[in-house]
Amino acid sequence: MPRVPGLNTDVQALTSDVVSSFRRNGLANFAGAMAFREVLALIPFLLFLLSLLGFFDLQEVWKEDVAPEVEQNASEAAFKLVDDTVRQVLSQKQVWWLTVGLVLTVWELSAITRVTITALDRIYGYHRRRGLVEVLPRSLWLGVAMACAWSRRSPPSASARCSRARCTACSRCCPSSSGGCSPRQRSPSGSR
pLDDT digit string (tens) for 128-186? 788 888 888 888 888 888 878 877 765 544 444 444 444 454 555 544 444 444 444 44
**pLDDT value of residue 4:** 64
The mean pLDDT of the chain is 76
What b/e string do you get for 40-78 counting C-beta neighbours within 10 Å, with b at 16 or more? bbeebbbbbbbbbbbeeeeeeebeebbbeeeeeeeeeee
- pLDDT tens string 90-111: 887 778 878 888 888 888 888 8
pTM of the entire predicted model: 0.59
